[in-house]
Amino acid sequence: MKMYYVFPALMLLAAAVFFSGRARAALKSPAPRATLDAAIAANPGRQTAVFAGGCFWGQQAVFERIKGVVKTTAGYAGGSASTATYDQVTTETTGHAESVEVVYDPSKITYGDLLRIFFSIAHDPTQLNRQDNDVGTSYRSAIFYTNDEQRRIATAYIAELEAAHVFGKPIVTEVTPLKGFYAGEDYHQDYALKNPGNPYILVCDRPKVELLKKEFPDFYVEYRGRE
């Protein structure tokens, strides 16, 4: 269950700074580029990546603001189609993780670059079955790969991060095949963009967007919603 924070305005700002710091507390140094990565494609195209790491509102808020990303969808992966509804997933009994499907142009950004942002900005990969106060397997850290190349790149990157002791704790991110992605309900799509004053968004998600803008300026683009 998502924890909704209700604070006066000044406390909200302080809390946002605090939670931004918490999210980065596990990082000892900026995550490096992936040594093993796909080459930038010669021609424009479409490829799909699926990531899970806490509430899908924040995941989507990050990935929809990355240059080269064509479309994002908040939804569910890891369980069956028949149980892919928010009410069912929040029971923590369906096997799903709140996830984001990222459709990107491989001529503009690589899978390794997406992984770097996933580990650096989108979530804390050292928290097992939770992200801060959001607790349960539906908030687990996971990479759902769609092909063997993604599996190789993701597995190698995690090993690289661990060998370099980039994080102060072990990485718990699962690397598992995508068996199905199921789009979330309409009201979850672009939720952070549509609800900028929501206390949860202010505390948990806005700091991620600001950190993306600060640490990955070459990848950051403004996002104004789906056309």
Cα–Cα distance measured from residue 125 to residue 173, given in angstroms and rounded to the nearest whole number: 6
Give Cα 100 distance to the centre of its chain: 7
**204 catalytically annotated:** no
Per the CB < 8 A criterion, the answer to whether 177 and 145 are in contact is: yes
The full 3-state SS of the chain, as one line of letters, equals CCCCCCCCHHHHHHHHHHHHHHHHCCECCCCCCCCCCCCCCCCCCCEEEEEEECCHHHHHHHHCCECCEEEEEEEEECCCHHHCCHHHHCCCCCCCEEEEEEEECCCCCCHHHHHHHHHHHHCCCCCCCEECCEECHHHCEEEEECCHHHHHHHHHHHHHHHHCCCECCCCCCEEEECCCEEECCHHHCCHHHHCCCCHHHHHHHHHHHHHHHHHCCCCECCCCCCC
- Which of 16, 31, 34, 55 does the annotation list as catalytic? 55
For residue 11, give the amino acid letter.
Answer: M
Which residues are registered as beta bridge partners of 53? 141
Residues marked as catalytic: 55
